Amino acid sequence: MLAYKILRPDEYQALRQDGRSAGAPVDIADGFIHLSTAEQVSGTLAKHFAGEPGLVLLAIQTDGLDPLRWEPSRGDALFPHLYRELRLTDILWSREIALNDQGHDPGELT
């Protein structure tokens, strides 16, 4: 299964440069990397990133990703939370998230 991480441009650049990341400020504060399923990405974008340009979507294979926990969050839905730094080697692909008049368009998530 794929999970997704949304990063701001500077956060993505730091990940690429360092090969690892403790995540965004909210991840650091909470002690884990917040991830979303394909069904949760649009809600995450709307709630936490409304109107922000230049966002990058990262796809991460959850099989074998450890320690990964599924925990209740927004609306009691289970969200994947990674309890270690995100590594560049965890990323299957990345792409910029389009921003238009209707908001963010993450594109097809497969």
pLDDT for position 9:
97
**CATH code for position 32:** 3.20.170.20
Burial of 89 by CB count in 10 Å (0-12 exposed, 13-18 middle, 19+ buried)? exposed
Each residue's pLDDT tens digit, 41-89:
999 999 999 999 999 999 999 999 999 999 999 889 999 999 999 999 9
Is 8 among the domain residues? yes
Is 106 among the domain residues? no
Is residue 65 a contact partner of residue 26, using CB atoms and an 8 Å limit?
Answer: no
Q: Is the pLDDT of residue 109 over 90?
A: no
* N-to-C CA span, the chain: 9
pTM of the complete model? 0.94
Is 55 among the domain residues? yes
Is 26 among the domain residues? yes
Is 110 among the domain residues? no
Task: Provide the domain count of the chain.
Answer: 1
Is 49 among the domain residues? yes
Token digits of residue 107: 């594109």
pLDDT for position 101:
84
Measure the CA angle with vertex 42, ends 12 and 15; round to 5°: 10
Is 87 among the domain residues? yes
pLDDT for position 102:
83
Q: Which domain holds residue 18?
A: 2-100
Q: Is the pLDDT of residue 110 over 80?
A: no
Residue (of 94, 17, 85, 110) closest to 54 by Cα position? 94
